[in-house]
Chains A and B, each alone.
Chain A
Amino acid sequence: MSENLKLVEYTKPIAPPVNSIGALEWLKKNLFNNWFNSVLTIVSAIVLYLVVTNALYWVFIEAQWAVISNNYKLFMVGQYPVSELWRVWVALLFASLLFGMSSGVWKGTMIRIASILTLIYLLHIIVPFTATESKVWLSAQIGVLIFGYFLGSFLPKAKWITLIGWFFVIPVSILLLRGFGIGAFPLVRTNLWNGLLLTILISIVAIVLSMPIGVLLALGRTSKLPAIKYFCISYIELIRGIPLITILFMAQIIVPLFLPPGMAIDNVVRVMIGATLFTSAYMAENVRGGLQSIPKGQYEAAKTIGLNPVQTTTFIILPQALRAIIPTIVGQSISMFKDTTLVAIVGLVDLLGIAQSVKSNPDFLGRHMEVYIFIAFVYWVIAYTMSYSSRRLEKSLGVGER
């Protein structure tokens, strides 16, 4: 009887030992475990202290941020006419709605992205220099985003509606921004599209279009038809051998050659085409890497269950290949986003271009530090959000696990 009791006691689950060490002990173990590390720790602490205090002093005391707040509209949308600004807000409403719906449909990573966006809107509402009208629009963005979340969660077929929405958001926004030259939509020429608006439009167009083109080029490269195969190889190798700046210059000269006489193409569109053609070649190489990572057995299994080559590629090979290269695709997108700064050279005024003109405004002489730090911060927030989302996405899709 007593032995039985003992047995029961032994089989009780035992919690794993808690690995707790005090703060002092942690310091000792990690920072002061020998004389060399102790010296390193102390030196780094001093350097860190000087950098942080000086940086904080500069940011909060010395810097004059009026150069940013007074020119905020310029940084965001450049010379886009104030009377037509509502169109930018409406385009953004569309995007906010989709971000909201996506977070309702897919939850997880999308909720985080939507939260970051909401946070950015909120910050803009809180800071004192935002115009009242803008605050109303910003609140509307948040409202639409939350509404989108509930739509995405509860609407039947929300997934499909959201996907279709994403498909149309860019063309619709571009049309809306440009206008039709009638009634409430007078034409806004693209030379007035500047600042962050231009940066984002060029990057998104180049990134989004380069994916399907890159996939086609990568598949074409493996084609059995020599004409297609060598066309793709030449294209990829040619573009990868030329700097983006050169391509942007060439887009100015070469693209018009392919157009019927008398038809002019807008400068911004030409740059978008140039950037897309450039990124596509790199996307193609990324996709090729993904395709090569698929074991031969997958092709064979698909064949033996009777799938034809097109079905095999669409259902079996591409989904796995693209999943495997999410990190590279996002890396590529981030560098494209940052490379848009080069468009200044062919006469477009992107975020960096606006920074250049703002800092040479006599009213804000000597404030270049503030200007550059601000735009660096904007680039960083966007680029970091992308890489953060990609890491989350990788995790949730289980990339790297088979």
Chain B
Amino acid sequence: MAQSQVKIVEDPAVQEGEAIITCTNVNKWFGDMHVLKDVNLNITKGEVLVILGPSGSGKSTFIRTINGLEEIQKGDIEIDGVTLSHDIKAVEAIRKDTGMVFQQFNLFPHMTILKNIMLAPIWVRKKPKKEAEKLAMELLERVGIPEQADKYPGQLSGGQQQRVAIARALAMQPEIMLFDEPTSALDPEMIKEVLDVMKELARSGITMIVVTHEMGFAREVADRIVLFDNGEIIEMGTPVELFDNPQHDRTKLFLSQIL
């Protein structure tokens, strides 16, 4: 088992290009429950990585460790040369370079859409208000809803809210975007509008890690797919490799259930 993981790390596809995220033997427990078991993964700059796996397999926990929302108990995560540690300053520095989009949007309901997006540029990046507003409007154009700027999150549809959440994350001009099941809380007719925004982002060359159950998206956009089960990476490869020629029995089982 440990052997096969070492092999994965040495996969030539991973070695080419410059690694922006390096996870080495990452372990995480909730109480006695071992939810991440020796996870090894390198992510290259500009790569789009899709994480698949059954519910409860540790996907959310894993991507939350990358921006320090969950602490790990063993192993190392290095982002852009900085090691994530207990040092709150290091964690805060890394958070400024990573944006995250949640399943439940988590917009700030007491602020207008524009204020939601302007908050971080003003208070974290210390941009002047005018500049922050201009940036926020550009981002709203980019996700296709500039006309909603002065509304409150509660007045928008789920799909629109999620696009605002993406714009809010982008406002920090991050190098890495993390998505945790961004379309799972959406009505079917709104999934496409969010996926379209994500596809555009992927083309723009930003590094993305996406936890999703949207197989079409994974096949079309992912550079690489990893499959999580029971806290471990059990298989990794390009979409073609993984979908058309899965090696591991559990991968086959998972794909047969979901496709």
Contacts and interface: CB of A to CB of B under 8 A. Distances in A.
Interface of A: 295, 297-298, 300-308, 311, 315-316, 319-320, 323, 398, 401-402
Given A304-B67, A305-B168, A320 B95 contact: no
B109 A305 contact: no
Contacts of B110: 319-320, 323
A35 B217 CA distance: 69
B99 interface: yes
A282 B133 CA distance: 40
Contacts of B144: none
A304 B100 contact: yes
Contact of B104 (A297, A302, A315): A297
B106 A297 contact: yes
Interface stretch (B7-15, B23-31, B116-124, B240-248): B116-124
Contacts of A304: 67, 69, 95, 98-100, 169
B102 A306 contact: no
Contacts of A311: 123-124
Nearest to B98: A304
B154 A305 contact: no
B67 to A, nearest CB: 6
A303 B123 contact: no
Given A304-B169, A306-B124, A298 B102 contact: no
**DSSP class of A's interface residues: helix, strand, loop or mixed?**
helix
A320 B106 CA distance: 13
Given A304-B95, A305-B172, A402 B109 contact: yes
Contacts of B120: 305-307
Contacts of A302: 108
Contacts of A307: 119-120, 123-124
Interface string B139-175: 0000000000000001000000000010011011000
Contacts of A306: 92, 95-96, 120, 124, 172
29 contacts: A297-B106, A300-B69, A300-B102, A301-B107, A301-B108, A301-B165, A303-B69, A303-B95, A304-B95, A304-B98, A304-B169, A305-B95, A305-B99, A305-B120, A305-B124, A305-B171, A305-B172, A306-B92, A306-B96, A306-B120, A306-B172, A307-B119, A307-B124, A308-B92, A311-B124, A315-B108, A320-B109, A398-B154, A401-B154
A305 B169 contact: yes
Interface string B76-109: 0000000000000000100110111010101111
Contacts of A319: 110
A305 B172 CA distance: 7
Interface residues of B, number: 25
Give the top 10 A-B pairs by smallest Cβ distance, nearest first. A301-B106, A297-B106, A306-B124, A305-B120, A304-B100, A306-B96, A306-B95, A402-B109, A319-B110, A320-B110
Contacts of A298: 106, 108
A209 to B, nearest CB: 25
Interface of B: 67, 69, 92, 95-96, 98-100, 102, 104, 106-110, 119-120, 123-124, 154, 165, 168-169, 171-172
A382 to B, nearest CB: 30
A301 B169 CA distance: 9
A398 B151 CA distance: 14
A305 B67 CA distance: 10
A320 B109 CA distance: 8
Nearest to B101: A304
Contacts of A315: 108, 119, 123
Nearest to B96: A306
Contacts of A295: 106
Nearest to A297: B106
A52 B36 CA distance: 75
A308 B96 CA distance: 11
Interface centre among A298, A304, A323 (most CB of B within 10 A): A304
Nearest to A301: B106
A306 B69 CA distance: 12
Nearest to A306: B124
Nearest to B117: A305
A300 B99 CA distance: 12
A315 B111 CA distance: 10
A300 B64 CA distance: 10
A302 B120 CA distance: 9
Nearest to B125: A306
Contacts of B99: 304-305
Contacts of B154: 398, 401-402
A316 B154 CA distance: 16
Given A301-B108, A305-B169, A311-B124, 5 more contacts: A298-B106, A301-B165, A304-B95, A304-B99, A306-B120
A295 B171 CA distance: 23
Nearest to A323: B110
B109 A300 contact: no
